[in-house]
A and B are shown apart, each in its own frame.
Chain A
């Protein structure tokens, strides 16, 4: 039992040391960085990543560049904004801002992005539309795929393979991931419009340019009842099945809503962006919340922490001091996790973390109140320590499980609807809750056991001063 407790203490100290090393802002040697292999190599610097509201990032201003000085319509600008938003979300940048500015500009803010070229390339990418042969297995929307056209410019129509066989056959013999044949590019389309079929379902109708109608007819007759995926920037947008031999025009049906049919029609008719855009300016920007504001809030946080620890010690004496140690562990371990995963810290994220600090303190308070009750009830000190943790556990468990359930739901929704503030809150809160469970039930318990078994007589002798009971 005793030896066991010392082993646990050792584990705690090692974890604490690792966490502190990760959290303190010193440059880490490369071999340490290479240990976090799951992070993208580009940003693997083992530092806490801060969101736009805390740290700033890159601001890009795009202006429409229609030939002849034509003004874009509000609709075109809005769909361009949406498409850019999708692309930025695909990048995994947290809390991006994509706003229309004036009549013909789009303002983009990318938190934490410092590499101008990366952002600019991404925004400038014109959006390659492809029609891809998926055989008899339609791909789910949103699947990223490799295509012959995107890799080698290979097309079935016009045939670009020198051997006369589809390029993918040669490629798939050697390559590791499946490469799909690109049948056509978006070039063949004359127009696309959303509409309703005679059952009132939303569909998209399209027309093929005259010079491609022969090829299109040949392809659709060869591949009848197979899937032809519509792919934008190597991501599946929609995967309709060819139901009839088509040449001049056709319709795409599926489970469309009015909005999704309109979006698909827009993508089909404009390739990607409905308006050609040029980059007007790019520059680094400061934090939305203001650097002054953040510094002051950090100082306030430190004051709050000191007050909290002082209060815990004043109220619970010796156990309060032990819980201060376990709270330090909790904070270091949580921050280290944020670095390791990595979690981009934003203000909502910090609010989530703050709530988990409250939960961590609450777990300790629950335990110590129980401890006092058990002592007053006449238990021995060691008995009271064990009973306190046992009795407090169901409330700590249930309170935290319900918070974790909430987090899971908020995370899923935040992810699905691009509400990154909600997602950030859920991530830091749930991580904080998990660490706080560990810090209360393992760290505080080990410290309490150790102190109360090693120093039982000293504590007993000065019971009122050290325990307040």
Chain B
């Protein structure tokens, strides 16, 4: 009988589910590395690549969305469109990934079909990436450093509990889980729907990191409290009790976050949709992992039984040294 409340006992199912999702993401990344011309796990946007800059002067007013749809009809999913000068001048700048001369000309013609172009003031030129590789590297180093700092902080914060180090390692495991899922799903969408990652992707990952830690710490904190208050109870019972006690809060908070993000996804502008979608995935993963990964992992470590299938002597909670 599968009991939804026996989270810790049934941990293997949750672990397998997560591993499956992560594996799918990794497969998508591998697929992208092989098939994409850039050999990267995601399709990169013009932010990371040399590309083209269109400077377009129209003789009639045209909207950003109209320009966007022309580029999209040529398979350029994520052009960066900017208005230049006074709105009355109808001058626009569009940054895209690299486009061959022939196709660039076709796009120009298609644009001229939507609104007449002033050919003399319209030009297409190549540009270098806006986000340098060194910036991306620096951000990665920052994330790794931050992760180590959080590991140390949780370790210190749980110093009164038995084996505090295990809690912090499992929190980091949950964090890596969340980032992998968010990055993996992006890779899948990148393979299926030609999603491109831009400078905002980095921000999305940082935000996912934040969500993840907050959720995990709240659940851990309840375990810490219950360990102190209920000495003598079974460790697994205390952990399950703590999970259930924080479940209301976890669900309420993530429901509110999901509401906010869904509103942004449905009603927000086109240019942030992908960003919001990644956040939504990451936030969902963060709540899920705080309940189904971070805590069961701690129990698994204490019981030396990853899948929760061994026959075992019940473990009595020992709190405080």
Name B269's contact: one of A290, A303, A307, A416 (CB within 8 Å).
A290
* A100 at interface by CB-CB < 8 Å: yes
Residues of A within 8 A of B138 (CB): 413-414, 416-417, 419, 422
Interface string of B245-260 (1 = CB under 8 A from A): 1001100110111011
> B residues engaging A (CB < 8 A)?
53, 63-65, 80-87, 93, 125-130, 134-135, 137-139, 141-143, 145-146, 149-150, 153-154, 157, 199-200, 202-204, 206-207, 209-211, 213-214, 217-218, 221-222, 224-225, 245, 248-249, 252-253, 255-257, 259-261, 263-264, 266-272, 275, 279
Take A366-B218, A394-B221, A419-B135 as given contacts and tell me if A307 and B260 are in contact as well, using a CB distance cutoff of 8 Å.
yes
CA distance A176 to B248 in the complex (A): 63
User: Do B135 and A418 have beta carbons less than 8 Å apart?
Assistant: yes
CB contacts under 8 Å to B, within A7-31, are none
Complex Cα distance, B9 from A258, in Å, reads 56
Q: Are A303 and B202 in contact (CB under 8 A)?
A: no
Which of B83, B135, B213, B269 contacts A399 (CB under 8 A)?
B213
Cβ–Cβ contact A304 & B125, under 8 A: no
Q: Is the interface of B mostly helix, strand, loop or mixed?
A: helix
Candidates A299, A348, A425; contact of B267 at CB < 8 Å:
A299
Chain A: minimal CB distance from B284 (Å): 13
Q: For the complex, is A67 an interface residue (Cβ under 8 Å from B)?
A: no
Q: Which A-B residue pairs are the 6 nearest by beta carbons?
A: A293-B269, A286-B83, A417-B138, A413-B142, A300-B267, A304-B263
A296: B residues at CB distance < 8 A: 267-269
Please tell me if the beta carbons of A391 and B84 are within 8 angstroms of each other in the complex. no
Chain B residues whose C-beta falls within 8 Å of the C-beta of A312 in the assembled complex: 256
Contacts of B249 in A (CB 8 A): 362, 365-366, 369
What CA separation (Å) do A101 and B51 show in the bound complex? 9
A373 touching B245 by the CB < 8 A rule? yes
When A107-B127, A292-B269, A373-B245 are in contact, do A401 and B259 touch as well, CB less than 8 Å? no
Q: How far is the CA of A100 from the CA of B126 in the complex (A)?
A: 8
Q: Is A113 an interface residue (CB 8 A)?
A: no
Cβ of A283 within 8 Å of any chain B Cβ, yes or no, is yes
Residues of B near A418 (CB, < 8 A) are: 135
B131 CB, min distance to chain A CBs, angstroms: 8
Q: How far is the CB of B151 from chain A (nearest CB, A)?
A: 10
Beyond the given pairs A284-B86, A369-B248, A412-B142, 7 more chain A to chain B contacts, judged by CB atoms under 8 angstroms and listed by A's residue number, are A81-B128, A347-B200, A355-B207, A359-B214, A402-B214, A413-B141, A414-B142
Q: List 22 A-B contacts (CB under 8 A).
A: A284-B86, A287-B82, A293-B268, A297-B264, A297-B267, A299-B267, A300-B267, A301-B268, A304-B259, A308-B259, A347-B203, A347-B275, A351-B275, A358-B211, A394-B225, A403-B213, A405-B149, A409-B146, A412-B142, A414-B138, A418-B135, A425-B206
Tell whether, in the assembled complex, residue B64 and residue A293 are in contact, meaning their CB atoms are under 8 Å apart: yes
Contact between B199 and A406 (Cβ–Cβ < 8 Å)? no
In angstroms, Cα B214 to Cα A409, docked, is 17
What's the count of A-B pairs with C-beta under 8 Å? 228
Instruction: List the B side residues contacting A365 at CB < 8 Å.
Output: 249, 252-253, 256
Chain A interface, >50% SS class: helix
Q: How large is the interface on A (under 10, 10 to 19, 20 to 34, 35 or more residues)?
A: 35 or more
Residue A186, interface by CB 8 Å: no
* Interchain CB contact under 8 A, A403 and B129: no
Q: Provide the residues of chain A in CB contact with B199, threshold 8 Å.
A: 421
- The answer to whether B142 and A354 touch across the interface, beta carbons within 8 angstroms, is no
Residue contact A402 to B217, C-beta cutoff 8 Å: yes
Residues of B within 8 Å of A343, CB to CB, are: none
- Bound complex: CA of A294 vs CA of B81, how far in Å? 13
A410, B142: Cβ atoms closer than 8 Å: yes
Q: A292-B64, A361-B253, A398-B157 are in contact. Are A417 and B134 (CB under 8 A)?
A: yes
Nearest-neighbour CB distance to chain B for A300, whole angstroms, equals: 4
- A102 at interface (Cβ–Cβ under 8 A)? yes
Contact yes or no, B260 A358, CB < 8 A: yes
